Amino acid sequence: MTKNLFVICMFLTPNVLIQSVRETNFSARKICSDLCNVEIGGRSSLHCALKCSSDPNCFFWAWDSNPGLCKLCQATDGTGGNCGSNGTPMLNAYNKVVCANGGTLDIISRSCSCPAGFAGNVCQRRIYDCSEGYQLNLPSGVYKIQPSLATSPFSVYCKNVWGGRMFIAIRLEPDLLFNRTWEEYRNGFGNVAGDYWLGLQNIYLLTNSGLNYKLYVQMKDKADFFRQQIYFSFKISDETSSYRLYFNSTEPNAGPQRVLGDSLSPALGSRFSTYDADHDGDVTENCALRHQSGWWFPSPCNLTEGNPLGRLVRPSDEVWSGNSEDIFWLNDLGNKAPYKVEMWLVRL
């Protein structure tokens, strides 16, 4: 077995190697193929494996130590000299292609079928984002994703409709409080299976990994009627510049009755602030303290047009009291108080 592990190792990049050694089964399998080149006088199983490695037409190899036969096989077509009289596979062969993380090899297509949430030609990595999960036809749910800039995966809720929605904020119930510290906003809080904030560091990793995203801001009224606004090429800077807000343009989603309106543009280029980390440009006031939330606040605080992470108060008459601590979105909800707020990213 030790030798087999070593043989497999020769073909794999370091990442694949680590996953494979831990999680895949390297045992030989019986195949049935006449598409094998036989080399007489081979030196060892390792030598045979290396031959297969360097031959793009070789996908399985078999080694017979006595009398020293190395078979380099192209496919397992189910016919030919390595089948028994009733078609039984006879040749004890090793796969060149190794699927990591529990992926299974389709010996006809020579490709790996990956478990949900894994991707790559040998299942060697997590999905980059929910849009990739959508492309792979995964069902909605909590997934561990790993954008290319991230050194480890993190969990997110993916709703796999309309290109794959990757939620950065979900507020369906008033229970989860959003007036949190800088550390909590940086790392994320709540429950990814329910209401939560994904975390600024994760949003930074997602929006700086070479993929282009649009941000959706959705608000629902008491009757669950939704309105949406889209921000194109949304991204934020890293923590050294307090996760500054950037986007290229904005427009409402769907028909005129669904228009939420733009209440974020005054904050374009602003740093993120929390009550314990005042990064807004207003030297006379702490905007996050005034609004009891974390957000990208413009300067001065009076220019703030939206406070989507403020208190979710849900007045029965749906009228916003004008309290600066509550959720509001002036354009175009006016003095209406939203009952639910969700924000998600979709690849452009």
Closest to Ca ion by CB, 174 vs 300, is 300
Q: Which stretch binds Ca ion (CB under 5 A): 229-237, 276-284, 308-316, 327-335?
A: 276-284
Q: What share of the chain is helix, strand, coil (3-state, %, to 5)?
A: 20, 30, 50
Q: Which stretch binds Ca ion (CB under 5 A): 194-202, 236-244, 260-268, 271-279?
A: 271-279
Q: How far is the CB of 311 from Ca ion (least distance, A)?
A: 20
Alpha carbon distance 11, 24 (integer Å): 14
Closest to Ca ion by CB, 48 vs 277, is 277
Q: How far is the CB of 263 from Ca ion (least distance, A)?
A: 20
Q: How far is the CB of 152 from Ca ion (least distance, A)?
A: 34
> What SS3 state is found at 272?
strand
Q: Tell me, by CB under 5 A, how many residues bind Ca ion.
A: 3
Q: Which stretch binds Ca ion (CB under 5 A): 25-33, 99-107, 119-127, 279-287?
A: 279-287
Q: How far is the CB of 247 from Ca ion (least distance, A)?
A: 23
- The answer to whether the peptide bond before residue 139 is cis (omega within 30 degrees of 0) is no
Tokens of 269: 């280029």
Closest to Ca ion by CB, 74 vs 324, is 324
Residue 271 binds Ca ion (CB under 5 A):
no
Closest to Ca ion by CB, 90 vs 289, is 289
Tokens of 246: 């950037």
Closest to Ca ion by CB, 129 vs 282, is 282
Q: Which stretch binds Ca ion (CB under 5 A): 108-116, 125-133, 273-281, 321-329?
A: 273-281
Residue 295 binds Ca ion (CB under 5 A):
no
Distances (CA, A) of 26 to 22, 94, 105: 11, 8, 12
Alpha carbon distance 338, 314 (integer Å): 7
**Among the listed residues 282, 293, 294, 304, the single contact to Ca ion using CB under 5 A:** 282
Residue 280 binds Ca ion (CB under 5 A):
yes
Tokens of 197: 């904030």
Strands, DSSP E only, in 32-122?
Answer: 36-40, 60-64, 69-73, 91-95, 104-106, 111-113, 118-119
Matching residue, tokens 């939330």: 293
Indicate the residue type of 266.
P
Q: How far is the CB of 23 from Ca ion (least distance, A)?
A: 50
Q: What is the CA radius of gyration of the chain?
A: 28
Alpha carbon distance 260, 252 (integer Å): 6
Alpha carbon distance 260, 229 (integer Å): 5
Q: How far is the CB of 166 from Ca ion (least distance, A)?
A: 31
**Among the listed residues 132, 184, 195, 278, the single contact to Ca ion using CB under 5 A:** 278
**Chain residues that interact with Ca ion, rule: CB under 5 A:** 278, 280, 282
